[in-house]
Amino acid sequence: MTDTRAEIIRAKGITKRFGALVAVDNVDYLLRENEVAGIIGSNGAGKTTFFNLLTGFFPPDQGTIRYKDEDITFMKPQQRVARGLMRTFQLTATFDNLSVIDNLVLAFFRAYRKSSMLQLLLNTCKGQRNDPKIVESLETFDLQDIRDRIVKHLSLGEKRRLEIAMAVLTEPKVLLLDEPLAGLSESEIKSVLGVLRQRIGRQTILIVEHKISHVEDFLERLTVMHEGRIIADGGYEETLRDPEVRRSYWQIDTSGEQDRTVVA
């Protein structure tokens, strides 16, 4: 069955080297509108490097990345954000020296107030804190009770929720999540996934994960990376049954049958 949804991101022949190491090796990748896709792979498989290339953290050595009809290969992160690509970080990136609400204010102001330097100087954080969008975001992500707390005093799960809240608040076209579940407890994972589930169908979501057991009923498509290459790409179940995936990612002896949940 071919997918008729419009293409939103297309990466072609992407290669990134760090010295002698080829971190991402000639990767082709396609994301469609409102798709919920995942990339998995073991440590060092090149997932995060590939993710960083998509979001403009650094440019690729070869290949092109297109967003809709535009070449964004060498575009700065700010310009990609302006087009609707929003990412989170593997090591949670919130502003620990600001309050929860002011973290949201910063995300909100850039997205909705087209902020010139003059606007940044002329507006106070206080003046934005009660905007309906921010209030709604606090409710959705269950952050009301800690809204005035300085972020450095939050738990990892709360910070992760805040970071995703900041990304979602800007209503991006593509939401790129780098290991959003890493280091979280079971209940925290549930609450983060619950929030993400609400976003399905409203934007394209790409999740890079190390553990896939948590996202299996969530992803419609799964891509597996191994040593810088994509070794399988397709529907969730179909990808996991792929012998190549079983051999290199799960390290299962494909001649015998084993339950994948043992290693998951």
List residues near other proteins by CB under 8 A: 55, 57, 76-78, 81-82, 86-87, 89, 93-99, 101-102, 105-107, 109-111, 115, 117, 119-126, 128, 147-150, 166, 170
Dist. CA 127–CA 50, nearest whole Å: 39
Residue 91 contacts residue 59 (beta carbons within 8 Å) = no
In the complex, minimum distance from the CB of residue 239 to other proteins, in angstroms, rounded to a whole number: 29
Report d(CA 176, CA 206) in Å as an integer. 5
CA angle (204, 208, 211) in 5-degree steps = 130
Question: How far is Cα 73 from Cα 70, in angstroms, rounded to an integer?
Answer: 9
Q: How far apart are CA 38 and CA 189, in angstroms?
A: 16
Compute the least distance from the CB of residue 82 to other proteins, in Å.
Answer: 6
Residue 9 or 232 with smaller CB distance to other proteins: 9
Q: Is there a contact between 38 and 215 (Cβ–Cβ < 8 Å)?
A: yes
Minimum distance of other proteins from residue 52's CB (angstroms): 10
Rg (alpha carbons) of the chain, rounded to whole number = 19
State the minimum distance, in angstroms, from the CB of residue 9 to other proteins: 16
Burial of 243 (0-12, 13-18, 19+ CB in 10 A): exposed
Evaluate whether 129 touches 58 at the Cβ level (below 8 Å). Answer: no
CB of 32 to other proteins, least distance (A): 23
Smaller CB distance to other proteins: residue 20 or 122? 122
Complex with other proteins: residue 13 or 74, whichever CB lies closer: 74
User: Least distance to other proteins from the beta carbon of 56, Å?
Assistant: 8
Cβ closer to other proteins: 137 or 248? 137
36/154 with CB nearer other proteins: 154
Helix (H) or strand (E) holding 171: none
